[in-house]
Structures are given as structure tokens and as C-alpha cells.
Amino acid sequence: MADGSSSDGFVAFERVQKSYDGETLVVKDLNLSMPKGEFLTMLGPSGSGKTTCLMMLAGFETATHGEIKLDGVSINNIPPHKRGIGMVFQNYALFPHMTVAENLAFPLEVRKLGKSERDEKVKRALDMVQMGDFGGRRPAQLSGGQQQRIALARALVFEPELVLMDEPLGALDKQLREHMQFEITNLAHSLGITVVYVTHDQTEALTMSDRVAVFNDGRIQQLAAPDVLYEEPQNSFVAQFIGENNTLQGNIQEIQGETCVVKLDDGQVIDAKPVNVTEVGERTTISIRPERVEFNPTKLSDDAHTLKAEVLEFIYMGDIFRTRLRVAGNDNFVVKTRNSPDQVRFKPGEHVELGWLPRDCRALDAS
């Protein structure tokens, strides 16, 4: 299901497989290609193979099968230190026995740069992350956010074209994380570097990336821009994994081009857009985002199908209302409505009718 697997990308995985024990594949037939300057995020639950992919790219793991190419050249047999890839580790991995400046000078030193050039680059990198005054400190004397910046500066100081980041914001608190997300994307775009970013935080993935590769079970489930991923998930895993999502089970009753009618398990029928269903009578999971549900069927077209629902809970959240309903046997059907003057505030026990535009509701595989 992965698309964009052309061989002319800056970074390319071609039919890559990885197994640790010779019995199970951790990465199954991975194909991926990314152009220069792209910010690509590998997103997925733990154990989905995303970190393994990153480690193979960095050179710390070897691919069991397939080829990894950097700028058109296979790097399978190139040791990590010759790949010239910058990397930011989850725990920052700042060398505790060196000062911040020495940490930053390290990659330049091993590249045998002169002292003055080294100092200048270190200074520039520190200024870039607004840590100019901290060169003499030890990593242990810095806060988590500061260490994060230094780790970033160290990965960038030798001007690599490709930078890998392995959950770099995982250890930060929420506010700092959001701030750093913004800084990292800005920096990446202004420097024009290519970034492969691994995370299991979907908000991070959506806000930072040009494209997101959703990993599960050793495969890329979908590779797309954040908005496409959110609005047009290709299968039920992606729909569930990205953002909040309501699902209902049913069978396809009829398919007419871009719309189909699904008969839910309690007998009601509703409109949906067929995504990966093809035959009438096929089992399907329909997926609808909470903010795309309409309480006012008059806004929909006349022949639209609607569902009966019972309000179980109404939560006032300031800018939005969050209503939990029972729809076709599902007690966790959530609807978000904007707090506008004409919006009705429901009471638990109330019976309502709801519907949606067929294009917002996607009929996906049954899993």
C-alpha cells in the first residue's frame, strides 16, 4: 500500500526486509522514497518496525534483504561513520565527560577540521539553537530542553544532508515539546535538510511533517501528507491510529461509483464512500470523524440516510461540545460540535437523529 516507491529519491528503501532471529520479520518488504529537503515522519505503535528502519538507515542494523540507497548509492555496506548522516537520539546521547562545546566539536574533530574553523562552526551551531552562552557547561548541568537543543546542534554542526531523529522529544514535558516541534521544523526548513523523524506521537507527526509514513506490523500502512492521512485514511488501522474516530460495523448493500450504502448490524442504513471495498455484501468498517457528524439532517441532501441515536453524555469543553451517543449498538460514538450560538445543548437520554455527507464517511476493510 506504500506509494512513492520510485528509485530516484534522495533516500530510498527498496524491498527491504529485516529479521533479528531468522524466524519473524520485523520489517516486511519496505519500499520508500523521499526527495531532498523533505521532512518525513515514521509513525507507529511500538514494535511496528519504525525504529528498526531508522537504525538500518543510520547503519547500526543491517538489512536482511533489499537495498537502502542514499543519493542513488547503495549504502548497505558502508559503516555508519562514513554515511555522514546526522542523528538525534532519544536520550540525546550527549557525551557526559565533554563540555557542550566539546560535544559539538567532536564530529568536526574526527573530520580533522582546523581549530579555528571548528570553533567558528561550533559557535554558529550554538547560536542557531540559541545556546550561545552554554558552550562551557557539561550536559548534566543543562535542563532537558537545553540538552535537546544541544543534541540537535551536534547532529547539524557537520552539515549533513540527512538528519535522523529517534523520538527526540519523548522526554520533554508537553509545553516544551510543542515549542521544540516548532523549532525543529523551522530549522529543518530553513536549512533545507532532509529529515527522517521517528515518533509514536501522532500530533507531533501531523504538525511537523511534510509526509507521514504510518507503520504497523512491519509495513507502511499509508504514506501521505498529514491532511490526506487524517481525512482520507486508506485502511481501518490508519483511521483508528490517526486522530479520534468513530467506527460502525456493517455490510455493503449497494455501491454506486463514489458512494455506497451500508447496512449496519442493527438494520439501519447509512451512506459512505467506498475506499477498499468492492463487492456488495462485503463486511466493512465505516469510519467517520467526530467533527463531521451533523445533528441537523436538513443540512444534508434530501435523500441522505440518517441514523437514530440516544445521547449518553454531554460534555462542555469551552470551544467545543463533546457529545457521547449510542448509535447502532456502539456506546462510544462521539460527536464534536462547535460552540456556536445556534448549537443545541443536549441532555442525556435525549433521542436525536444524525447523518453525514457520504464523502466524509469511509467504508474500509472489516478488520
Instruction: Kindly list the residues in this chain that would bind other proteins in the complex (CB under 8 A).
Output: 58-60, 79-87, 89-91, 93, 95-97, 106-107, 110-111, 154-155, 158, 164
State which residue, 4 or 84, has the beta carbon closest to other proteins: 84
CA distance 222 to 220: 6
Residue 152 Cβ vs other proteins, minimum distance, rounded to whole Å? 13
Residue 147 Cβ vs other proteins, minimum distance, rounded to whole Å? 13
State which residue, 22 or 281, has the beta carbon closest to other proteins: 22
Residue 125 Cβ vs other proteins, minimum distance, rounded to whole Å? 12
State which residue, 75 or 262, has the beta carbon closest to other proteins: 75
State which residue, 118 or 289, has the beta carbon closest to other proteins: 118
One-letter amino acid at 250 equals G
CB 317 within 8 A of CB 334: no
One-letter amino acid at 59 equals G
Residue 86 Cβ vs other proteins, minimum distance, rounded to whole Å? 7
| 3-class DSSP assignment, residue 152 | helix
Task: Please choose, from the candidates 95, 1, 110, 14, the residue with its C-alpha nearest in 3D space to the C-alpha of residue 53.
Answer: 14
Residue 106 Cβ vs other proteins, minimum distance, rounded to whole Å? 6
Q: Give the DSSP letter of residue 242.
A: S
Instruction: Tell me the β-bridge partners of 32.
Output: 13
CB 325 within 8 A of CB 293: no
State which residue, 111 or 299, has the beta carbon closest to other proteins: 111
CB 14 within 8 A of CB 31: yes
Residue 92 Cβ vs other proteins, minimum distance, rounded to whole Å? 9
Residue 288 Cβ vs other proteins, minimum distance, rounded to whole Å? 42
State which residue, 8 or 23, has the beta carbon closest to other proteins: 23
CB 348 within 8 A of CB 313: yes
CB 158 within 8 A of CB 81: no
Count the Cβ atoms, other than its own, within 10 Å of residue 312. Answer: 16
State which residue, 155 or 229, has the beta carbon closest to other proteins: 155
Cell of 2: 506504500
Distance, CA of 97 to chain centre: 35
